[in-house]
Structure 1
Amino acid sequence: MLSILELCHIIESAFLPLSCECRVEPSGSLQIQISEPISGRVELLVTGISASRLTGNPAIAQLINEIKEELNFTHDRRTDLDRVQQKC
């Protein structure tokens, strides 16, 4: 089983070149914050991730894929909103 530090390193590396911070919350769950590295703008914040469910590579890969899907959805939505604001 991976340590929390190893797990966080794997997760953080999966989102390069974006900035990703994986933190352990007081409850023991993980918090993942993904930011644009130049502006520092937070693109996505995910909290309450149970580290105990991340028992192997398939579970870790599934979490990373779920977060990437949410990140893409959020980015697309933000882009659409920026276009609408530019037209106004």
Structure 2
Amino acid sequence: MKRLALVAAAGVALSAAPAHAADPDPYACFGGARYVAMGAGFRCADLPMFCAAARALLAEVGGNEAAAEKLARSRGHGRLSIALAHRFCRDRG
């Protein structure tokens, strides 16, 4: 009975841990730009989806980066997000 209570208590303790606890540094992939990523609210896990959206925006304007940046700003995307896209999404797909 004592063992069952201990196992149940351990299960409750593990389920109460935050989901991001498994990733010790969610900004490691950004290197020196980690604080820019933090300011923009991005984590390494967000990069694939973020870069896919950046590629879609670029395709929408025919591949013109200046036009894509202007369109992104008109849609409310911040300068930090645009800077991260320039830095981390060029070589992703």
TM, length-normalised to structure 1: 0.30
Q: Which has the larger radius of gyration?
A: 2
Higher RCO (CA 8 Å, separation ≥ 6 residues): 2
More strand per residue: 1 or 2?
A: 1
TM, length-normalised to structure 2: 0.28
More helix per residue: 1 or 2?
A: 2
